[in-house]
Amino acid sequence: MPVKVMIPTPLRPYAGKRDSAEFQAKTVGEALGHLTTEFAELRKHLFTEEGKLRSFVNVYVNDEDIRYLAKENTPTKDGDTISIIPSIAGGCN
């Protein structure tokens, strides 16, 4: 069973309306790379122009935030679930 990437609602229109996708991947970064290769329009919403995950994109491996693990180098194995959870921010100036 490969790694499953759960796609949040606001990004599903850019992923063929799918709520998940599965890939063979050894790290979170590899899985997100496959995701944005298959669904290229997702890239700009997940990553800055410098290739960093946007600050409001939260990524979990089996409910653990990758910020507290090895970030995009967090290892993944078959059967793991990667969840992309938005946080929301804004302000008047």
Residues in contact with other proteins by CB under 8 A are 8-14, 41, 44-45, 55-56, 58, 85-93
- Nearest to other proteins of 2, 45 (CB atom): 45
Which amino acid, one-letter code, is at 19? D
Task: Provide the 8-state DSSP code for 8.
Answer: P
- Nearest to other proteins of 33, 86 (CB atom): 86
Closest contact distance (angstroms) between CB of 27 and other proteins is 21
- Nearest to other proteins of 4, 12 (CB atom): 12
Q: Is beta strand 57-61 parallel, antiparallel or unpaired with respect to 64-65?
A: antiparallel
82: β partners: 5, 61
Closest contact distance (angstroms) between CB of 22 and other proteins is 22
Closest contact distance (angstroms) between CB of 74 and other proteins is 16
Closest contact distance (angstroms) between CB of 24 and other proteins is 27
Sheet holding 64-65, edge to edge: 20-23, 3-6, 81-86, 57-61, 64-65
Residue with tokens 């998940």: 20
